[in-house]
Amino acid sequence: VVGADKTQAETAVRAAGLQSDIVKVESLSLFVQSLLCKIGTDAPGVIAKIGNRLRGIGLSSYRTPAKL
């Protein structure tokens, strides 16, 4: 999430009812947040659900390897 503070991101997650899919909201900088999803959660689906609550905010997904 680029362009929203941590409170805005957390509010969007709660408003979309995604508390069971999002493990935590991690602040990378003042206006850059990372939403950590549970294994098996469809990140593009999360973006679709919170996108209308965060208009004008940059949203994208990325995947990290399960094993390093």
pLDDT in tens, 20-65: 999 999 999 999 999 999 988 988 999 999 999 999 999 999 887 7
CB neighbours (10 Å) of residue 52? 10
Quote the pLDDT of residue 20.
95
Quote the pLDDT of residue 62.
86
Q: Are 1 and 32 in contact (CB under 8 A)?
A: yes
Query: Is 67 a residue whose pLDDT tops 80?
Result: no
Quote the pLDDT of residue 65.
75
Quote the pLDDT of residue 15.
96
